[in-house]
Amino acid sequence: MFSRLIFYFASPMRLHALAARLVRPLLWLALALALPGLWLALVVTPADAVQGEGYRLLYVHVPAAWMSMFVYLLMAFWSFVGLVWHTRASAMLAHALAPTGAVFALLSLITGAFWGQPMWGTWWVWDARLSSSLLLFFLYLGYLALLRANEDSARADRACAVLALLGAVNLPVIYFSVRWWNTLHQGASLSPGKASMAPEMLTALLLMIGAAWAYTAATAFKRVQLIIAEREAQARWLQQLQDDMNQSDDGGPELSAADLEASRA
């Protein structure tokens, strides 16, 4: 069933139509989850007995850290699909996810620094979790830079896909670093089957995580609409240029260098 959906929406036009229907509802869902989540996080839940008011940063830090990893995992998945089955929409989805993932990676680093300063007495340590999270942010930047550097979209898709797959090796390092090494970073407060926090704190955190998921989906769908429109416009321009070149070869009006330069603009 899942594979059928993947190939059904491998058509950019079908994906564009789906994205157009989902962007607005997802944005409203993100807002509907974030507002009560922030109210619980900032008003209802009491200060932590040990960390004081500073612990409230976790309601932003944890969703940002989780989403930075999950988004990269999605990018690696769509990159793999694109490389194996050569579906155009897969690369577009990976490209659409990258900017949001980079924002979440940066947000997790910033909120982590603000939390660490009063708790550890320093803004930054070369901790295994922090260092691998910083590497994840650089991988996002490298992906976006590689995408911008290649004017040929097919070549950019392949290069970015390879980088996404290679960078995915860093994800288990981030997740298991607090178990594999003796790090300053605290262990997981929320894991499958158990949660080491009060119910109202857990509710607030889950609402904020849900809001981050909905926001990520909305921004990715909106961005993929723009990517599809841009590539379709580029394809039409190339086809028109080819038709003009053929007409010139057949004895029609020739294109001057100024005409070519104007068409590129």
Q: Which residues contact 104 (CB under 8 A, 6 or more apart)?
A: 63, 64, 65, 67, 68, 71, 212, 216
Q: Say if 229 falls within a structural domain.
A: no
Q: What is the mean pLDDT of residues 195-219?
A: 91
Q: Which residues contact 139 (CB under 8 A, 6 or more apart)?
A: 72, 163, 167, 170
- Could you list the residue range(s) of the whole structural domain that residue 94 is in? 23-224
Q: Say if 15 falls within a structural domain.
A: no
Q: What is the pLDDT of residues 36-75, one digit of tens each?
A: 999 999 999 988 877 888 889 999 999 999 999 999 999 9
Nearest alpha carbon to residue 141 among 106, 91, 114? 106
Q: Say if 240 falls within a structural domain.
A: no
Residue 189: pLDDT band by 50, 70, 90 thresholds?
A: low
Q: Say if 258 falls within a structural domain.
A: no
pLDDT of residue 180: 73
Per the CB < 8 A criterion, the answer to whether 227 and 92 are in contact is: yes
Helix pair angle (88-120, 12-39), 10° resolution: 20
Percentage with pLDDT > 70 across the chain:
82
Q: Give CA–CA dist 47/45, Å, rounded.
A: 7
Q: What is the pLDDT of residues 18-41, one digit of tens each?
A: 999 999 999 999 999 999 999 999
Q: What is the mean pLDDT of the chain?
A: 86
Q: Say if 242 falls within a structural domain.
A: no
Q: How many residues does the chain have?
A: 265
Q: Say if 175 falls within a structural domain.
A: yes
Q: Put residue 47 in one of left, alpha, beta given phi > 0 → left and psi -120 to 50 → alpha.
A: beta
| Two tokens, residue 150 | 């290649």
Q: Which of 51-65, 119-133, 202-216 tops mean pLDDT?
A: 202-216
Q: What is the mean pLDDT of residues 119-144?
A: 93
Domain count, the chain: 1
The pTM of the full predicted model, rounded to 2 decimals, is: 0.86
Q: Say if 231 falls within a structural domain.
A: no
Q: Say if 115 falls within a structural domain.
A: yes
Instruction: Decide which of 64 and 8 is more confident.
Output: 64
